[in-house]
Amino acid sequence: MLIFLLSIALVLGAVGVFIGNVAVSEQGELGFGFQQMIHARVPWALIAPALAGAGLGVYSLVRAPRWYKWPIVPVQVLLAGLLTVYFTTLSSLPNHRLALAVGDPFPSYSLVDQDGRLHTFDSSFEPSESSSESSDGGRPALYVFYRGDW
């Protein structure tokens, strides 16, 4: 019985952390486990407890079959499986390759900022001719490409 309760706690805990993070990220707040979700290629700290819980559930069912375990264990296996598939496969991006490498010149651009001002960057570093433009050259810059949301 103790093992069965532990298995439920492990699966629910992992799923709860996952759903909690997805929910709070909409409000810009960082939740427990968030570091794992955005920085780990595969966040085993979330997946491992879910898989361990599902495994314990199956073990408990095989060792001491009780009627109340039959509806719960398949749900545990399903939830742990879904979490694993999401983190290992569903959240993957298609293969892509950045068109430049360290040591290459950054390409020229001419783009508008949040205030409608035109920003230009010239790879050849020729000064921009129009006074209404602001040139982004001459100082180090970090370019972070957003997906529109975060």
CB of 2 to other proteins, least distance (A): 35
Amino acid at 128: S
Per CB under 8 A, the list member of 1, 2, 41, 63 interacting with other proteins is 41
**Count of Cβ atoms closer than 10 Å to residue 22 Cβ:** 12
Q: What is the largest CA-CA distance in the chain?
A: 81
Cα→Cα distances 17→36, 42, 69, 99, Å: 11, 15, 24, 37
CB of 117 to other proteins, least distance (A): 9
CB of 71 to other proteins, least distance (A): 32
| Residue 1 or 99 having the CB closest to other proteins | 99
H or E segment and range at residue 134:
strand 134-135
From 12-20, 36-44, 56-64, 66-74, span contacting other proteins (CB under 8 A): 36-44
| Residue 1 or 101 having the CB closest to other proteins | 101
Q: Does 127 bind other proteins (CB under 8 A)?
A: no
Q: Residue 36 — left, alpha, or beta (φ > 0 → left; ψ -120 to 50 → alpha)?
A: alpha
Per CB under 8 A, the list member of 63, 98, 130, 131 interacting with other proteins is 98
Q: Does 8 bind other proteins (CB under 8 A)?
A: no
From 2-10, 39-47, 48-56, 68-76, span contacting other proteins (CB under 8 A): 39-47
Tokens 């819980």 -> residue = 53
Amino acid at 43: P
